[in-house]
Amino acid sequence: MRGLLQEIYLQDLVLALYGIYATRLRDPEGRRLIENYLRAETDRRKRIERYLVTRGAPISGAIRSLFAAAGTLYGRLTSLLGTRVMLRIALSASRRASRRACGLLGDPSDPEIAYLSTLRARNEGTLLDELRQHLIDTAPRRS
């Protein structure tokens, strides 16, 4: 349960951060990629919340608010650096997250936990691949 609670709090931070990026990105394709990720992770968050509630786990609203506020603040600050930097931050975060996605959620013998881990790995992998390709395609060309 502890791993799932940590996951939900971390997810609050990331979704708040990417929510800021989605509104401030000037690159329509980059925005679309971030918005797709936000939708997929919001769906996964709802599944995690249902799983925790059915098992009576205490989800702290105060901690969730704190993590969401931290994500919002970080998003506002880093968005001042521009579109390419925001996309590179998302790429870097997704690269790290995709490496550890399957190991964080706990006992893989529970089919729901295995499914949640697989969803995260898929969401992070998709964002990683698509952002990497998009940054390559839109990189400034050297003369």
* Count of other CB atoms within 10 angstroms of residue 14: 22
Q: What CATH topology corresponds to 2-137?
A: Ferritin (1.20.1260)
> Average per-residue pLDDT in the chain?
89
Q: Is the pLDDT of residue 25 over 70?
A: yes
* Residue-range domain boundaries for the chain: 2-137
Q: Which residue has the higher pLDDT, 116 or 134?
A: 134
- The DSSP code sequence of 45-96 is HHHHHHHHHHTT----HHHHHHHHHHHHHHHHHHHTT-HHHHHHHHHHHHHH
Residue-level pLDDT at 102: 54
Q: Is the pLDDT of residue 17 over 80?
A: yes
Mean per-residue pLDDT, 70-96: 91
Residue-level pLDDT at 116: 84
Q: Which tens digit of pLDDT belongs to each residue from 27-82?
A: 999 999 999 999 999 999 999 999 999 999 999 999 999 999 999 999 999 999 99
Distance of CA 50 to CAs 46, 79, 109, Å?
6, 32, 18
